[in-house]
Structure 1
């Protein structure tokens, strides 16, 4: 993309300025590979690669599968190489796999590391040890400053309207406050489901958009068909913001909450102390099918291949730019 020379090499040359966000359970190698081949950075949470006791680490097998397939693609398509990929690490005290997963990612020279729920120097050091860059997701300016102080290379501003764990602040306010002091890589998460919203993110001061929910309703996504169908049939008014399900506030599909026998308009508060990402974690049976989603899903009309999502957003992005250019001249 023009105008991206100020960014680290791993974030340059994308088809559109976008990173596909790591989706819990949903992001698997097939989706990541499709996203990267389509020209945007694909990603997945390391914890999605969960092997049975006694088996070899599935994360290692996933990284091998992704890198080998992208290498094959690049050799066959030297003029349109795939975008790089990213791995998301949950930096929470309950993630007992973290040290092991950091070692595996460093061994496989993962190019982009996305960290969540805690900024730690040693995690950023692990990314840098193999030539990778670390992007940390935050919900406010205070956390943003802490992340950079601890060695993160860039920030993902998770604003109101983002799927899953999301902050309450307007993207206009959050991006503006961060840009007062930080001129490094800055991504924006929160209802970015169209080319219009992607261009708006850049106009606000972000370098790239962080796109999640539209990729749930794709053929490669590891999501229940009912989940995909509910994304397609829902809009912003069908999202509920609640801390009940993990202890940290996030956005979820009202329909899935209702299907679990709960009233989405009268949910109790959650307890952050119950948050767990350990191997033995369990959530109440009624919560097994509580589905996360951002507010931008009104733009999702069908279940399609991931490449079609990228193509649609690209068309809209360039059309939005052309309209804006006409208005400014």
Structure 2
């Protein structure tokens, strides 16, 4: 028997992926090389618009990145009509301190970005900008209340950021968060939180998510714009090596304990910081003092080597299909 995903409730941009997976936008780390590799491997690749930072007086780097990604994926699709690349996504930080937001919205609209990921605020005008060029908007949320607000303001879909996700993350169990959202929302839904293998991706699908939202494993890839020490720390760490703290940005997130220790702090006794300290005026919410504090989710125990992004997707794909076949045997035997 051949099984096929039901995609009838998804917009066209989100259908037909090789694997129901989105590579999450990683601050500094997600660059065109990684995004292109993810899309060619058959999953949605993404990057934060604020990663594209040009020097004063230079033309917008975001424009150059969108040109590079669009042209390379178009070239790939022309050469591989039977194996087209997945679409890409751009993450917009909708925080009031992001002085670049209006400019970046205009650039993304002009380049007709197919998938928009919005974070730290749901705003009607951002959704309208995406829709004006045929884009679809996924908004990340940490609870059901924020999920309802995002849809009310015009988002097309949601990314449930559960406990264990890398970077800024919520505290709710993915089982609770996904099921509460699915009680009222039937549109596109992705799950973020320690998804680093095919079995976890299958679990996300079983709970009701359409996609797994995968970030930390891609840090340990050759295409990632991360320091080699950072990549090795991902490979050498596991769930118990993650600390959850608000100190570094003002909002709670997950970070590698070893990087905290290396910065001269006790990861078990970190003070708190207020959300009012968050400022994206220079492209990051993280003060320069914390630039060596490295984010990571709890799923990195599955990451055992630094590989190419395509090889990582291949591994998760094999595991996903094997786990699915094994579980299906319980019901169709």
* TM-based fold match above 0.5: yes
List gaps (5 residues or longer) in structure 2: none
Tell me the SS of whatever aligns to 1:5: coil
2:14 alignment partner in structure 1 = 11
Task: Give, in angstroms, the shift of residue 326 of structure 1.
Answer: 1.4
Per the alignment, residue 120 of structure 2 pairs with 117
Question: 2:133 matched to which residue of 1?
Answer: 130
TM-score by length of structure 1 reads 0.98
Mapped pair 1:197 → 2:194: no
RMSD: 1.1
1:172-216 Cα shifts (integer Å, max 9, x gaps):
000010011000000000001000000000100001110000000
Q: Indicate the residue corresponding to 1:272 in structure 2.
A: 275
For 2:73, the equivalent position in structure 1 comes to 70
Please give the alpha-carbon distance, in whole angstroms, between the structure 1 residues aligned to 2:240 and 2:309.
25
Match of 2:300 in 1: 297
Correspondence 1:185 to 2:188:
yes
* CA–CA separation in structure 1 for the residues paired with 2:17 and 2:284: 37
Change (3 A) 1:282 1:188: closer
* Corresponding pairs, count: 329
Deviation at 1:270, TM superposition (A): 1.1
Structure 1 runs not aligned, ≥5 long: none
Task: Compute the displacement of 1:287 (Å).
Answer: 1.2
In the aligned structure 2, how far is the partner of 1:280 from the partner of 1:229?
A: 26
| TM-score normalised by the chain length of structure 2 | 0.97
Aligned position for 2:146: 143
1:318 to 293, 317, 321: 321
Please state if 1:209 is matched with 2:212: yes
* Paired position in structure 2 for 1:38: 41
Q: What's the secondary structure of 1:22's corresponding residue?
A: coil
Alignment of 1:175 with 2:174, yes or no, is no
Q: Does 1:159 align with 2:162?
A: yes
- Tell me the CA shift for residue 2 of structure 1: 3.0
Distance 1:213 1:283 in 2: 18
Rate the CA distance shift 1:8–1:100 in 2: closer, same or farther, 3 A. Answer: same
Using the alignment, how far apart are the partners of 1:2 and 1:140 within structure 2? Answer: 26
Give the secondary-structure state (helix, strand or coil) at the position aligned to 1:191.
Answer: coil
Q: Deviations over 1:46-102 (max 9, x none)?
A: 000000111100000000000000001001100000000000000000000000000
Over 3 Å counting, the alpha-carbon distance change for 1:281 and 1:211 in structure 2 is: closer
CA 287–75 in structure 1, closer or farther in 2 if over 3 Å, else same: same
Q: Output the CA distance in 2 between the equivalents of 1:89 and 1:204.
A: 27
CA separation in 1, counterparts of 2:284 and 2:26? 18
Q: Distance in 2 between matches of 1:146 and 1:244?
A: 27
Find the partner of 2:265 among 262, 267, 271. 262
CA apart distance, 1:149: 0.2
